[in-house]
Amino acid sequence: MKNVLIVDDEIAVLSLLKHSLIKYRSEFKVLTAKNGNEAKSILSKKPVSLLVTDIIMPDITGFELLEYVKKKYPATLCYVMTAYNTTEIKKKIPHHVIEFLKKPFSISKLGPKILKTLKQDTPTGFISGISAATLLLMLEKEKRTCLFEVTFPDNTKGIVYLINGVIQKAMYESLNGENAVRAIVAKGKARFWFKPLTERMIESLVTTYQS
């Protein structure tokens, strides 16, 4: 089952949102965190398909948490919720954020919105038993645009994003870019999980790689 992580320093808001989403418990599990540090801890222990975070929080702001997720868990989709609906705030919202929720928002519409997002996040398929080098050659030849997560037998993982068969971004453990690609190719056979992307996530991945 997929996990949705909601982060807000207001306990009442967390409780209200979690209670309102109980009806979707057969579709996804709601996890909550009172601050960015708690969110990081949860992310390190459980796979999270969707992050819904407040912006103005003590210690670690929502912006800092979003930046952390973009670098560490780029396949995680993100929503932002805030009462500060200013032009300055909106300009700071990262490109990989796919929904901006102005507080107060209609809680009854949040569940269907999350379901729609998670459906878009459904994996398009698995491939196993071939090497990363072979797969990359296939994708290059077919000029594919895709994101895939790779898991090796030793449980190390990486992510590769391609546009028209050309690698735009790659990460493996603590490595990025060409170093990550070389490490992934050198590992041999693995299991590959293909995932679709939103346009904002694609823009974010490309921007991160080029920066």
Position 211 scores a pLDDT of 41
In sequence order, what are the residues at sequence separation of 6 or more whose Cβ sits closer than 8 angstroms to the Cβ of residue 149? 75, 157, 158, 159, 192, 193, 195
Helix, coil or strand: residue 178: helix
Helix, coil or strand: residue 49: coil
d(CA 145, CA 109): 32
d(CA 83, CA 119): 27
d(CA 53, CA 57): 10
Long-range pairs, 138-144, Cβ under 8 A, ≥24: 139/165, 140/165, 140/166, 141/165
pTM score, two decimals? 0.63
pLDDT in tens, 146-181: 888 899 999 898 889 888 889 988 989 889 889 999
Asked if 105 and 81 count as a contact pair (C-beta separation under 8 A), the reply is: yes
Return the CATH class of domain 2-120.
alpha beta
Q: Where are the domains of the chain?
A: 2-120, 125-195
pLDDT in tens, 84-105: 776 777 777 776 688 888 888 8
